[in-house]
């Protein structure tokens, strides 16, 4: 049995530790990442707006659900940036590329939110304008 497998947590201990580690990750993002805080504020604001809109509950669900990947991808982007900065603060083409790609992933997730919101709003309110 390898060292890794011998000391690997299992069962409820593993689930509990994963929950604790996730909490630490959320806390670290909240404390250290202004972009994450801004996106979380945006998520809360838009969720409230979605709940208050006079549309079907399934559309409300889609509007809110479309925003969750932004938060997840921002966490991944922040993790990439932390790893790159941990390795070296020196400017390097590969470091810049990794950070830029993470940023591009966040941008794509935000574009998905915009497109979903535009479609749902158009579907509910745009057709009555014509």
Cα dist from 23 to 14, 26, 62, 73, whole Å: 14, 5, 26, 16
Q: Quick check: is 56 catalytic?
A: no
Which one is catalytic: 33, 39, 56, 74?
Answer: 74
Buried b (16+ CB within 10 A) or exposed e, 7-37: eeeeeeeeeeeeeeeeeeeeeebeeebeebe
- Residues 73, 105 contacting (CB under 8 angstroms): yes
Q: Which residues participate in catalysis according to the annotation?
A: 74
């Amino acid at each position: 049995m390898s060292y890794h497998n011998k000391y690997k947590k299992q069962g409820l201990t593993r689930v509990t530790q994963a929950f604790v580690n996730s909490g630490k990750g959320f806390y670290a993002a909240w404390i250290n990442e202004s972009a994450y805080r801004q996106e979380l504020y945006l998520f809360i604001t838009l969720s409230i707006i979605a709940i208050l809109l006079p549309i079907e509950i399934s559309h409300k669900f889609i509007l809110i659900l479309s925003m969750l990947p932004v938060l997840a991808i921002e966490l991944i982007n922040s993790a990439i940036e932390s790893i790159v900065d941990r390795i070296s603060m020196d400017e390097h083409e590969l470091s810049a590329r990794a950070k830029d790609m993470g940023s591009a992933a966040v941008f794509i997730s935000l574009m998905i939110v915009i497109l979903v919101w535009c479609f749902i709003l158009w579907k509910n309110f745009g057709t009555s304008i014509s």
